[in-house]
Chain A
Amino acid sequence: MRGQRPPAGHRVPSGESGRRYPHFDVLDQVPDWDPATAATVVGRLARQPDLRFFTPAEEATAGALFDRLLAQDGPPGAPKVPVLQMVDARLAEAQTDGWRYADMPEDGDAWRTTLAALDEDAAEQHGAASFADLAPERQKELIRAVQDLHGKAWHGLPAQHVWSLWTRYACTAFYAHPWAWNEIGFPGPAYPRGYQRLGVGLREPFEAADADPVDPTGGRGTG
């Protein structure tokens, strides 16, 4: 199984990676996973299927949207969690969560509509042919504008339901990937080995200590 790991690929290429668990690699544990689980997880490291759902225009816009939502802003060509391909596969297979808001179309149509709407915003506000043509900072502004609308309408759809759609698909893909687990210190599948050292502050031999335990909230305590 270990041979399937892409070389030097266990870090997510952005400024966020490898700070807190610099030497932790969940893929070291693959030999201890059951075969069904290992096949599922290691499969995420393999080359992903070619795109089937997104049109080229949607591919460009969705790719940029996912890179901004998940801060995958490494240099061009650097390896990254293939969120675009993972979401495309889900949509091509209509693998939804089994529900939609009454004021939203089915997920596939909702993705097409909202990606086109991002392109419209890019054209109207910056005269760009595509959202993907904008500089990352401009892209972030447009994304933030959707988030800030909360319950108000954005291109005829409730902005908070659009936000929910985008972040749900993006987070589900990204945090399914072992590279993302390395970044957060999560040791992944635990069958058949289980855990033996339970309790606050206790670690198994294969768990790594947080090397840089900075409180991201800054201890604000705002609730």
Chain B
Amino acid sequence: MSGPVRRRLREAAGTLRLTASSQKAVRQRNASAWLLPEDGARFDHRLIEHMRRFDDTEEVDLVVVGCGAGGATLTQRMAHAGWSVVCLEAGPFWDPDTHWVSDEAGSHHLYWTEPRVISGTDPVPMGSNNSGRGVGGSTVHFAGFVPRLHPSDFSTRSDDGVGADWPIRYEDLRPSYERIEQELPVAGQYWPWGDPHAYPHAPHPVGGNGEILLRGADALGLNARVGPVAITNGRFGNRPHCIYRGFCLQGCKVNAKASTLITHVPDALAHGAEIRTEAMAVAVETDPQGRRALGVRYLRNGREHLQRARTVAVAAYSIETPRLLLNSANRRFPDGLCNDHDQVGRHLMVQGAPQTAGRFAEEIRAYKAPPPEVSCEDFYETDPAADFKRGYAIQTVSPLPITWAEHVAAQGHWGHDLRRYMQDYVHWATLGALCELLPLPGNRVTLSGQKDRHGLPVADIAYSQCDNDRAVVRAARATMERLLRAAGATEVITIERYAHLVGGCRMAARPEDGVVDGDLRSFAVPNLLITDGSVLPTQGSANPALTIMALVDRAAERLVAGARGGPPERGRP
């Protein structure tokens, strides 16, 4: 047998092993999908009615700020391990049946729209692809692409002389990636890039947009694969199959696309966690010497409360997490909690996400099927021949009319010109790149002079690109235009965008270089963890949700083990 044939057989065997394996272990670890109703409703309201409720004065084992990708995963893991957990969420407990609509403008309430200020030479407009609000956080409206980071992402400083090395390796995270991929679950073809791996669900059929990317890649001799998406392809517990409705970014009314509301919250509630909604965190409280976190002060129904806890975890997103630490300044930490080394809020990252659309004589109708369909990671790694370090990934994106109008208007079209262009909607296929922009110390969250409704200073987000950033975005754009033309596009138009904020409280080997260690424990306050995307030292070209959940899965495992082994030691790597 030739090498390629052997490789394909190995891939097929790996896929078969994973897709045909029993779900018993998954269900034992996290029964969320089996705790959803079977009667067509999308959430079992009895779980909320019967939710355990703690008193503020009761010192719980853990209080978590934020119920998104990181916060909900930690809440589930620790409740499952027997800890008493309260998760504070600023937004509501969503009911997919009544609160979510199959409509773009009607989904505005899914996003975090409290005021923020954006500055720098390349300011980052916060679109709907950024943070969320309510139980599930941004996983409610993320597209659902869940690629892993590549092994090379963990050592870009050593290998490429850019970015930062992580205090952990890819291998440390692999078992967590595998566990989370089974729990979401992820559908896709065998993944040939990075650390090659199979997915638990088969790839979805593709719509017109995905077909175009596959066609273009084929014509250019590039690799493209269907997936990886956190969308069920087949039944999983009581979650049904995807119906290819195309409104993934508006909250999945089907329960096919994963959000932590349905993948981790049900099991957390069944294990006695309390998710306290409409609770806006104000500050993390410490003892007078700043040696231990005592709990979290928060506003609810107009009153301030303090939830006491033996351990505190902050998972409020890359902007609100640094903001909360900066707003938690006290005598011991005059410049913000955990900010002894001026690291809080720094090295904020966002992926360059240029979007290129191509015009086809055929009808593409990109609004059908989930926007996340097909990816290409051929340009992910550093290319020694290129004039930049690191790289980019290319994925399908399928703008609905309002988003598409922004794309067209950004070309300068308005008036009759805009209306004519918009009527051509069904003929366009759209690709998006995720470009690895480098972590820079000047890209940071600080407190602005402006205050929000609660009287809390709002975040100022300064962002400026470096030459490497501009070069990688340029290259990605050129590749997308080439792909679309190879697929038969007669015209291509590109707009500049950003996606996916991470960093701002990065993990590091030493306190001088970051805010938390590899277990997500803050260097300054041993019983304070940060469990969201703000801990990422680099971002790769992957959508961050899976990595956030995997990091939290690993941190939770260490936290559970540590509890058995006594109080945590300081200064571990």
Contacts and interface: CB of A to CB of B under 8 A. Distances in A.
A203 B494 CA distance: 27
Contacts of B494: 223
A174 B400 CA distance: 13
Contacts of B418: 69-71, 171
Of B243, B253, B423, chain A has the most CB atoms within 10 Å of the CB of: B423
B211 A200 contact: yes
Interface residues of A, number: 73
Contact of B423 (A20, A69, A194): A20
A97 B416 contact: no
Interface string A101-139: 111001000000000000000000000000000000000
B419 interface: yes
Interface residues of B, number: 76
A172 to B, nearest CB: 5
A4 interface: no
Contacts, number: 222
A88 B336 CA distance: 39
B118 A102 contact: yes
A45 interface: no
Given A190-B102, A191-B253, A183 B419 contact: yes
B429 to A, nearest CB: 9
Interface in B345-371: 359-365, 367-369
Contacts of B400: 186
A129 to B, nearest CB: 24
Contacts of B99: 36
B481 A198 contact: no
B566 to A, nearest CB: 43
Given A98-B115, A191-B247, A210-B363, A172 B105 contact: yes
A72 to B, nearest CB: 9
B158 interface: no
B401 A175 contact: yes
Nearest to B209: A200
A217 B491 CA distance: 7
B486 to A, nearest CB: 14
A65 B492 CA distance: 29
Interface in A168-223: 168, 171-176, 180-181, 183-203, 207, 209-210, 213-217, 219-223
A195 B243 CA distance: 6
B421 A96 contact: no
Contacts of A199: 206-208, 211
Contacts of A223: 481, 491-494
A91 to B, nearest CB: 13
Interface of B: 97-106, 108, 111-119, 123, 125-127, 205-208, 211-212, 243-247, 253-254, 359-365, 367-369, 400-402, 404-406, 409, 412, 414-416, 418-427, 460-461, 481, 490-494
Given A100-B118, A147-B412, A222-B491, 4 more contacts: A68-B415, A185-B425, A200-B362, A223-B493
